[in-house]
C-alpha cells in the first residue's frame, strides 16, 4: 500500500513502531473494508475498519482488524515480517521488566493521544522502549461500534486460544501494566508486525 513504518529494536526483536494500516493482502487482494456496523464481526473472512470511519484516524492509529486477517495465507505483514505470537509478546514484556511495568515503557509519552487517569500514570508513560503504543480503541463484535479510543490500545497476537478466540495484549490509561488476555476473534484490534533483529 506504499505505507512507511518506523521500526525499533527491542532486545532481539525488531518491531514496527506504528500500527498496521494495510488495506490489501500481500498478493494485492483487497481486505474487506467494513463500514456498515451490521456486517462487522466475521470469524472466517478477514475484515478491517477505521475508527469512526474517519480516514484521519487511520493515519494516526492504523486500521482495526479482526483476527481472520492474521490467519489468512495471503499475509498482511511485509515480507520477512509477521504478526507476533503470544510467546513473542511475552519476550517483549519480559525484556522490558515484566507485565507490571512494561506498559509504561511501551506507551507513547505525553497527552496528545492518551487520556491518562492521573499525572502519575502520565509520568510512567515514558515510551522508553520506542514501541510508541497508541490508544486506538477497538471494535465490538455484536454491534460493530467503536469504543475506547484515547483509553486503551489492543494488539492481536497470532496465537489461538480456542476455535473462536485468540490471545492479545492491551495497554490502558490507568496503569503502567501490559495485560494479556484472550477473546473472540471477531473483535477488532490493532496489529503490529515484528521480525528477529539481524
pLDDT tens, residue by residue, 74-127: 999 999 999 999 999 999 999 999 999 999 999 999 999 999 988 999 999 999
What are the residues whose beta carbons fall under 8 Å from the beta carbon of 24, sequence distance 6 or more?
1, 30, 31
pTM: 0.96
**Could you give the CA distance from residue 110 to residue 117 in angstroms, rounded to a whole number?**
13
The residue that leads in pLDDT, 36 or 53, is: 53
Q: How many CB atoms lie within 10 A of CB 112?
A: 8
Residue with cell 498482511: 76
**Could you give the CA distance from residue 79 to residue 45 in angstroms, rounded to a whole number?**
22
**Percent of all residues in the chain with a pLDDT value above 90, rounded to a whole number:** 90
Q: What are phi and psi of 15, to 5 degrees?
A: -110, 150
Amino acid at each position: 500500500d506504499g505505507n512507511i513504518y518506523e521500526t525499533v529494536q527491542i532486545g532481539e526483536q525488531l518491531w514496527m513502531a506504528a500500527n498496521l494500516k494495510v488495506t490489501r493482502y500481500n498478493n494485492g487482494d483487497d481486505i474487506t473494508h467494513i463500514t456498515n456496523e451490521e456486517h462487522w464481526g466475521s470469524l472466517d473472512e478477514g475484515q478491517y475498519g477505521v475508527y469512526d470511519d474517519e480516514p484521519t484516524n487511520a493515519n494516526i492509529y492504523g486500521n482495526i482488524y479482526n483476527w481472520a486477517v492474521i490467519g489468512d495465507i495471503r499475509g498482511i505483514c511485509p515480507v520477512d515480517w509477521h504478526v507476533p505470537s503470544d510467546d513473542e509478546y511475552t519476550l517483549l514484556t519480559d525484556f522490558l521488566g515484566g507485565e507490571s511495568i512494561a506498559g509504561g515503557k511501551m506507551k507513547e509519552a505525553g497527552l496528545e493521544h492518551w487520556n491518562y487517569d492521573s499525572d502519575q500514570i502520565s509520568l510512567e508513560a515514558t515510551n522508553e522502549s520506542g514501541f510508541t503504543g497508541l490508544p486506538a480503541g477497538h471494535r465490538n463484535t455484536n454491534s460493530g461500534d467503536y469504543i475506547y479510543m484515547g483509553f486503551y490500545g489492543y494488539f492481536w497476537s497470532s496465537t489461538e486460544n480456542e476455535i473462536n478466540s485468540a490471545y492479545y495484549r492491551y495497554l490502558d490509561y490507568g496503569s503502567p501494566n501490559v495485560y494479556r488476555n484472550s477473546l473472540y476473534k471477531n473483535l477488532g484490534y490493532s496489529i503490529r508486525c515484528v521480525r528477529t533483529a539481524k
